[in-house]
Structure 1
């Protein structure tokens, strides 16, 4: 099998992403100060991301005294670029995209909060094939990751495969990248690939919504826990504004109707403070897997 290229976002790609964002009016100098701009890695369908964002934007706008606006991006690299270049004020990142943003910005991004669940996040490996019962059984089969820049849909699953003595680029019949967790589940369910991996949060939501037939698609392996998603800002943001954003998230409570709606949509029990040190393990895994230069 042809070896998949290492994930390395070139300067040309980043500049192109930045130009595209500027063309849509995201450039810092062009935007009105009264708009607080938020984006997120596109790890789920655009419809789902918009649904999850709407009440949170209303809440943040009220807490910060500005209009909070969610603007989606086409891929993970564009999200990293938007934050690094201060084209957005707040970004929802995975652990790996946080590490990439930290590298891209020269250390000038700051994670503020994460869900309680992100302190012990996991990925699941799924299949419909009767002959696949363990990671070792995946050899010789077609397999789908999510986005190449996904922590829970690529980096950490790849790390655990390598630790089990399985090199996806050598041992799998074919490797695909679906681009999103729900797309991976759909590809496995439809028989487009023999198996795949996605984050446990999306998997459990798909099961709860009966969007996956649990009698056909089953989990063969759940990874150990690792740190994952967070809400991150650029380090140039004034400390007082960072504190207001952090407090807004920490104040969300399931005891209020508004808090319960937002937390349920974010699949969170609550938000807690986080720090860059929590993602050192993600950075090490990315370097060991050859996915970070």
Structure 2
């Protein structure tokens, strides 16, 4: 009788031990799953306009990575660079300029970019209202003292860096405080610049061509009210870049997920027709422009 009791106690203890181990394993798996993969996104449009598209992107990536994914639209471009620099995010959607800065500061690696009409390129535009007497950049330069000019975010490639170099080369712009314009302002986003031109709050402004076209197509601005008076050379599109310590398996899963995206709302948030692979070498011309402006060192 005693032996049976002892056997029963041993079986019970062994069962409880296995249950405890299983519980610990489940807890560990649960904790692993709850460790979110974090993505920071620059505000190519005002934050509210992008939230629904980013929620959809978050759902897709959570499924493909089999891991919780958190996508956050930051209020300004530099905030995303600093988040990557201080290891607060695992991946970021950068402008080309903010990418080369982040690559220099923290080793961020470009892996994906968007396609516009099948090509990974866009332009910087300078736009004005259709009723403006300005018809070319020569007109803008000649009449600069009478023009209120708008850039986007100060860290934007097409909304600031590239047009500021053009205007600097033409002798009418050095900085927000040193220039030949009636006034210079930074609106913070491409859609804000477009609306400022449309509402004739400024005489001209710099904008991303793809975002401009997307704003027209979506009806957020009236394309009939604008003139494009300058267009830059081709610029390589905005990259999605991962933290330097991201493993190859995760990178491949991210690439596969982005390359498969066909959701019109997600694509529309970036004025894109699809996604394609990218690398650091694709942004060498932007790096050289940033060196020219003293933003990074050679």
Q: Say if 2:114 and 2:276, in contact at 8 Å, map to a contact too.
A: yes
Counterpart of 1:132 (choices 109, 131, 134) is: 134
Following superposition, the deviation at residue 223 of structure 1 comes to: 1.8
Number of residue pairs matched by the alignment: 257
Corresponding residue number in structure 1 for 2:281: 277
Bigger Rg over Cα? 2
Q: Is 2:79 the counterpart of 1:78?
A: yes
Corresponding residue number in structure 2 for 1:187: 196
Corresponding residue number in structure 2 for 1:147: 153
- Once residues 75 and 218 of structure 2 are traced to their aligned partners in structure 1, the CA distance between those partners, rounded to angstroms, is 25
Q: Say if 2:45 and 2:189, in contact at 8 Å, map to a contact too.
A: yes
- Once residues 119 and 266 of structure 1 are traced to their aligned partners in structure 2, the CA distance between those partners, rounded to angstroms, is 12
Following superposition, the deviation at residue 51 of structure 1 comes to: 2.3
Matched position secondary structure for 2:37: strand
Q: Tell me whether 163-172 or 185-194 shows the greater mean CA deviation.
A: 163-172
- Once residues 95 and 265 of structure 1 are traced to their aligned partners in structure 2, the CA distance between those partners, rounded to angstroms, is 17
Counterpart of 1:158 (choices 164, 167, 170) is: 164
Q: Tell me whether 135-144 or 57-66 shows the greater mean CA deviation.
A: 135-144
Per the alignment, do residues 232 and 126 of structure 1 end up closer, same or farther by CA in structure 2, a change over 3 Å counting? same
- Once residues 277 and 215 of structure 1 are traced to their aligned partners in structure 2, the CA distance between those partners, rounded to angstroms, is 38
Tell me, which stretches of 5 or more residues in structure 1 are unaligned? 1-30
Per the alignment, do residues 235 and 195 of structure 1 end up closer, same or farther by CA in structure 2, a change over 3 Å counting? same
After superposing on structure 2, the runs of 4+ consecutive aligned residues of structure 1 that deviate more than 4 Å are 163-166
Q: Is 2:207 the counterpart of 1:198?
A: yes
Corresponding residue number in structure 1 for 2:18: none
Corresponding residue number in structure 1 for 2:112: 113
Per the alignment, do residues 33 and 234 of structure 1 end up closer, same or farther by CA in structure 2, a change over 3 Å counting? farther
Per the alignment, do residues 89 and 159 of structure 1 end up closer, same or farther by CA in structure 2, a change over 3 Å counting? same
Tell me, which stretches of 5 or more residues in structure 2 are unaligned? 1-31
Following superposition, the deviation at residue 208 of structure 1 comes to: 1.6
Following superposition, the deviation at residue 160 of structure 1 comes to: 2.8
Following superposition, the deviation at residue 275 of structure 1 comes to: 0.8
Deviations 1:165-192 (A, max 9, x none): 5435433221110000001111112222
**Where in structure 2 are the equivalents of 1:43-58 lying within 5 Å?**
43-58=44-59
Corresponding residue number in structure 1 for 2:39: 38
Counterpart of 1:289 (choices 290, 293, 296) is: 293
- Once residues 108 and 223 of structure 2 are traced to their aligned partners in structure 1, the CA distance between those partners, rounded to angstroms, is 40
Per the alignment, do residues 207 and 263 of structure 1 end up closer, same or farther by CA in structure 2, a change over 3 Å counting? closer
Deviations 1:30-87 (A, max 9, x none): x985312111112211111212211111100000011211223222111001112221
- Once residues 72 and 211 of structure 1 are traced to their aligned partners in structure 2, the CA distance between those partners, rounded to angstroms, is 20
Q: Say if 2:150 and 2:193, in contact at 8 Å, map to a contact too.
A: yes
TM-score normalised by the chain length of structure 1: 0.81
